[in-house]
Structure 1
Amino acid sequence: MTRRRLPAHWLYLAPALALLITFTYVPVGNMVWYSFHRWDGLDVVMDPVGWDNYVRVLTDERYWRVFLVSLYYFAASFAQIAIALYFAVVLSFHTRFRNLFKGILFFPYLLNGVAVGFVFLYLFQPGGTLDSLLGLLGLGDQARLWLGDPDVANVSLAGTSVWRFTGLNFVLFLGAIQSIPAEIYEAAEIDGANRWHQFAYIIAPGIRRIISLSFILAISGSLAVFEIPFIMTGGANGTRTFVVQAYETAFQFRQIGLASAMAVVLLLVVLLLTWVQRRVLPDEEVSLT
């Protein structure tokens, strides 16, 4: 009787699957389990509460109102996609010092989010870098409490996220553009196509999947913002995001079950919006040849 051997590809996949299950699916399963209980994270016994945590998240204005703050970051994500796409198109062609500009654009994404938060704290503080720059330009009367005024605080934080994450979209777009065969551009130039025609009929269709991926990242990222508002304002002055609210609920108010329900709701919202986005912009095969 011969022993049935495990296919070799499963041996290669086993370590990755073990890490994925241990650090992703098991914690998610525990989070769903906690969401049906009242627990402070310390007691040995958890009190089952059924759907009460979810009802509270969906009906209490304090918990769903913070979703509106994500709209600032959602709008900012479109700005960073547009900026990244513009520079990726420009720097994909022969431009002086383009390697330098590539490094400058990607560098902010390499920085730690906490470090970015502290750097921009000095930028936005009263009498700080931004106010000094406005004074030099003769616009000193435009100085504001950039992080203290609820009318502009979220705009300031969203602008910080644009600066930090534009580099990621830039690299994705640049890699996709450079994967398009050069012969296609040469044929287009022979036919009299200018740069705009090349973008509209070659680049945009050729990187459609990456653009779609960027929108998915924009949706999930705008709903899951944490580092920048937590470090720079602590959620004060109307800048509290859903994740900051969940963090405070779990570790400040010791309501682990309720915070877990908030996390599950956030996950479902992201999945739903991603599904809608995929229906609106289906992933179709693109052929340029």
Structure 2
Amino acid sequence: MTRTSSSLRRGAAEGDRPRDPARRSRRRPRRPWSQSLTPWLFLLVPLALLATFSYVPIINMVVYSFTDWDGVSPGYTFTGLENYAEILTRPELFKVFVASAYYLGASVVQIVLALYFATVLSFSTRFRNLFKGILFFPYLINGVAIGFVFLYFFQEGGTFDTVLRLFGIGGEHLWLGDPDLVNFSLAGVSVWRYLGLNFVLFLGAIQSIAPELYEAAELDGASRWQQFRFVIAPSLRPIIGLTAILAISGSLSVFEIPYIMTGGAGASETFVIQTIKLAFRFNKTGLASAAAVVLLVIILLVAWAQRRLVPEERVTPS
């Protein structure tokens, strides 16, 4: 028998053997085009709404920023970079960012308090569900309602002055009329309102930590502070970065609380209130659009800088 015939018989015998099912399962079957199209059908409506109410208005805002449109006339004239030149050469338009510094400081206080309450209520505490609801409830209230409530709260001789008199602090104060006090009052309202949002973010992150880490820390004799420092705090870095971005962008774009309570009077005017006045009071929609684009660029730069300074921790596959 020749070597060629034996190899042919061996090949025929191997061909008669059943194929390895594991090798067959490794081959991914081709998905029909209908299955590939199904996810996009579900995303069609959300993407259409997102484009209609987010991206299209942004594009229109950028276009209007290069025009002299007054917001009423059917036509407008392109003016190039004149609106941006006017904004960047008028320092009084950027003085309103001084008021944003008060809200930024209030955001720091807000984050610290939210982190404290989230840490305390993540452990076994009496009535912790009640306290969770109390802390989160202000975030559910409409901003307009909050503005009107605190408008009476800070009224001269009102509720706040009455509470202060119980502690021996007499007199009536212009909490919303004194330029030295108005931004402190408004920033305090923002702390009360948005504390619940940061509290929920921190609480969710803390509760997602594996219980085995707490058990190991307790076996090692770690105190509550040591558990926070070595177990909780390292796990909260992504959430702290998120809240930092929200705090900075929110302090730069504050609008509803100062607009409802003071209308921007008494050194409480913010950049967004100023932009609204340019558009609807002085009919300078083109200039207001340029101001909005500048604010958008500032917020994006701040977010980019924060990402560069505090990069996200990426999980590498083992």
TM bracket, shorter-chain basis: over 0.9
Q: How does 1:1-289 map to 2 (within 5 A)?
A: 7-141=37-171, 143-285=172-314
Change in Cα spacing, 1:71 to 1:3, as seen in structure 2 (3 Å) is closer
Alpha-carbon contact 1:31-1:264 (below 8 Å) kept: yes
Return the offset for 1:286.
Answer: 6.9
Q: Distance in 2 between matches of 1:208 and 1:137?
A: 40
Query: What TM-score, normalized to structure 2?
Result: 0.87
For residue 74 of structure 2, give the secondary structure of its aligned residue in structure 1.
coil
Return the offset for 1:128.
Answer: 0.3
User: Structure 1 vs Structure 2: percent identity of aligned residues?
Assistant: 61
User: Aligned pair count?
Assistant: 285
CA RMSD of aligned residues (A): 1.6
For residue 158 of structure 1, give the secondary structure of its aligned residue in structure 2.
helix
Return the offset for 1:5.
Answer: 8.1
Q: Distance in 2 between matches of 1:275 and 1:124?
A: 38
Corresponding letter in the other structure for 1:66: V
Q: Distance in 2 between matches of 1:229 and 1:284?
A: 37
For residue 48 of structure 1, give the secondary structure of its aligned residue in structure 2.
coil
Q: Distance in 2 between matches of 1:4 and 1:164?
A: 47
Segments of structure 1 that go 5 or more residues without pairing to the other structure are: none
Alpha-carbon contact 1:205-1:286 (below 8 Å) kept: no
Change in Cα spacing, 1:286 to 1:106, as seen in structure 2 (3 Å) is farther
Q: Distance in 2 between matches of 1:148 and 1:223?
A: 22
Alpha-carbon contact 2:68-2:287 (below 8 Å) kept: yes
Alpha-carbon contact 2:66-2:80 (below 8 Å) kept: yes
For residue 163 of structure 2, give the secondary structure of its aligned residue in structure 1.
helix
Change in Cα spacing, 1:211 to 1:286, as seen in structure 2 (3 Å) is farther
Q: Distance in 2 between matches of 1:185 and 1:22?
A: 47
CA deviations 1:50-106 (Å, max 9, x no partner) are 111111111112311111211110111011000000000000000000000000000
For residue 65 of structure 1, give the secondary structure of its aligned residue in structure 2.
coil
Corresponding letter in the other structure for 1:124: F
Change in Cα spacing, 1:193 to 1:5, as seen in structure 2 (3 Å) is closer
Return the offset for 1:277.
Answer: 0.8
Structure 1 ranges of 4+ moved more than 6 A: 2-5
Return the offset for 1:6.
Answer: 5.5
Change in Cα spacing, 1:134 to 1:5, as seen in structure 2 (3 Å) is closer
Return the offset for 1:178.
Answer: 0.4
Return the offset for 1:125.
Answer: 0.6
CA deviations 1:201-233 (Å, max 9, x no partner) are 111111211111000100110011000100000
For residue 94 of structure 2, give the secondary structure of its aligned residue in structure 1.
helix
Corresponding letter in the other structure for 1:91: L
Segments of structure 2 that go 5 or more residues without pairing to the other structure are: 1-31
Alpha-carbon contact 1:73-1:161 (below 8 Å) kept: yes
For residue 95 of structure 2, give the secondary structure of its aligned residue in structure 1.
helix
Return the offset for 1:40.
Answer: 1.0
Return the offset for 1:4.
Answer: 8.7
Corresponding letter in the other structure for 1:45: G
For residue 140 of structure 1, give the secondary structure of its aligned residue in structure 2.
coil
Instruction: Mark the structure with the bigger radius of gyration.
Output: 2
